[in-house]
Chain A
Amino acid sequence: MEPSTDQPGTSHSTTNPISDGSGENNGQFECNICLDTAKDAVISYCGHLFCWPCLHQWLETKPNRQECPVCKAGIGKDKVVPLYGRGSTNNQDPREKLPPRPQAQRPEAENRNPGFPGLNFGDGSFQMSFGIGAFPFGFFGTLFNINDGRPRPPPFGGAQYQDEQMLSRVFLWVAVILMFWLFFL
């Protein structure tokens, strides 16, 4: 590459080197997006030169409209050719350099209410007893603060901590009163 490409304003670049796609053929090797000398250069099938990081970001910005920023021809990761200059020690495909797109993830389907029988049994007395039986377990679950992705508890001694302690005591009393009411009335 000639050193003069980095010095616009010399006699070398009297014509327009950028921005309308006509200037790439007069010895200029500037990326059409950052307007600097292209690094990790790739060229589109329509003949327009870009830095791969620049083009990658453009394609990410418009995921639904993958068009060449210069001429609006179709473009994509598989529709550009990497350029390797002489003497470049690193002949890695520039398209491999960027962190690849995060891969789609396939989380396991969450099985809600595993084996919950309540709705299948129309019989009221069963539901009633089930409700009573499950109540303390649910309660202990929250009391022992089983790690299920909720926000972390507030720091010990803070105002929020004290409030929460107070709330938890109130609910404990409500629960105790409810149990007494259920058993003895």
Chain B
Amino acid sequence: MSSISVTRIQRELKDIKSECSGQNIKIELYNDEYTNLRGEIVGPPETPYHGGVFKLIIKIPESYPFNPPKVSFETKIWHPNISSVTGAICLDILKDQWAAALTLRTVLLSLQALLSDAEPDDPQDAVVARQFKENKRAFLKTAKFWAQHYAHAPGPVDKDCVEKLKKATEMGFFKDVSLEALSKYSWNLETAIQHLTN
């Protein structure tokens, strides 16, 4: 670990403590070596993610800040630019548009902005992106249900979703797998079950 990356992370963590109390983001060390961090962002208002707490895995490469940190979602999320399976993120500043003056704070703020403004034309999860474009209502319903189910977002839960998920789990399928299938087939119970049995 080069010393510049360590001193910079120390510096950033100090600044985040003094600045980000009101910004709904949080970053803390995961180990003592400044290579592994955990972040948290709160879903922004007027989105299906509103109020959900999304945990992030942040890995700092040795060449930080000259190369971007590796960030992925630990909390499952239904979003066109985030893999619903692995949590991998498609965001330009985490790839070729990274600049050394960006910080973990600005990355987390960008991710919050990404939750508000999806880019379905540059998707990470093709299934979610197609649903976003072709069936926006189903997308919003699914994204909100996922936020409530995995990220503890507040608000009344969609009864239709709960019922269908219950039916699928009663048939002996795991909850996560059932939710994934139902989400993929826009809450059409029959096709989801058909997919699960195959």
Contact surface of A with B, Cβ cutoff 8 Å? 8-9, 16-21, 32-36, 48, 54, 57-58, 61, 67-70, 72
Q: How far is the CB of B110 from chain A (nearest CB, A)?
A: 11
| B188: Cβ under 8 A from any A Cβ | no
Given the known inter-chain contacts A33-B100, A34-B8, A70-B99, please indicate yes or no for A19 contacting B18, CB distance below 8 A. no
Contact call A19/B102, Cβ cutoff below 8 A: yes
Alpha-carbon separation in the docked complex, A58 to B98 (Å):
11
Pick from B8, B12, B100: contact of A58, CB below 8 A.
B100
Main secondary structure of the interface of B (DSSP, over half): helix
Q: Which residue of A lies closest to B2 (CB)?
A: A57
The residue in B15, B18, B99, B105 that gathers the most chain A C-beta atoms within 10 A of its C-beta is: B99
Alpha-carbon separation in the docked complex, A32 to B101 (Å):
5
Complex contacts, B18 vs chain A, CB 8 Å: 8-9
Contact call B4/A34, Cβ cutoff below 8 A: yes
Complex contacts, B103 vs chain A, CB 8 Å: 18-19, 35
Contact call B102/A35, Cβ cutoff below 8 A: no
Contact with A along B82-106 (1 / 0, CB 8 A): 0000000000000000011111011
| B51: Cβ under 8 A from any A Cβ | no
Pick from B14, B63, B100: contact of A54, CB below 8 A.
B100
Chain B, interface size category, equals: 20 to 34
Contact call A18/B15, Cβ cutoff below 8 A: yes
Contact with A along B10-51 (1 / 0, CB 8 A): 011011001100000000000000000000000000000000
Q: Which residue of B lies closest to A13 (CB)?
A: B18
Contact call B11/A36, Cβ cutoff below 8 A: yes
Pick from B4, B15, B99: contact of A69, CB below 8 A.
B99
Complex contacts, A17 vs chain B, CB 8 Å: 15
| B174: Cβ under 8 A from any A Cβ | no
Contact call A72/B99, Cβ cutoff below 8 A: yes
Contact call B101/A21, Cβ cutoff below 8 A: yes
Given the known inter-chain contacts A9-B18, A32-B100, A61-B66, please indicate yes or no for A19 contacting B105, CB distance below 8 A. yes
Complex contacts, B102 vs chain A, CB 8 Å: 19, 69
Knowing that A17-B15, A54-B100, A70-B101 are A-B contacts, what are 18 other residue pairs whose CB atoms are under 8 Å apart, sorted by A's residue number? A8-B15, A8-B18, A9-B18, A18-B15, A19-B103, A32-B101, A33-B65, A34-B4, A35-B11, A35-B12, A35-B103, A58-B66, A61-B63, A61-B67, A68-B99, A69-B99, A69-B100, A70-B99
Complex contacts, B65 vs chain A, CB 8 Å: 33-34
| B7: Cβ under 8 A from any A Cβ | yes
Q: How far is the CB of A25 from chain B (nearest CB, A)?
A: 16
Q: How far is the CB of A80 from chain B (nearest CB, A)?
A: 14
Q: How far is the CB of B22 from chain A (nearest CB, A)?
A: 13
Given the known inter-chain contacts A34-B8, A61-B67, please indicate yes or no for A19 contacting B106, CB distance below 8 A. yes
Q: Which residue of A lies closest to B63 (CB)?
A: A61
Q: List 28 contacting pairs A-B, 8 Å CB cutoff, sorted by A.
A: A8-B14, A8-B15, A9-B14, A17-B15, A18-B15, A18-B103, A19-B101, A19-B103, A32-B100, A32-B101, A33-B65, A33-B100, A33-B101, A34-B8, A34-B11, A34-B65, A35-B11, A35-B12, A35-B15, A35-B103, A36-B11, A54-B4, A58-B66, A61-B67, A69-B100, A69-B101, A69-B102, A70-B99
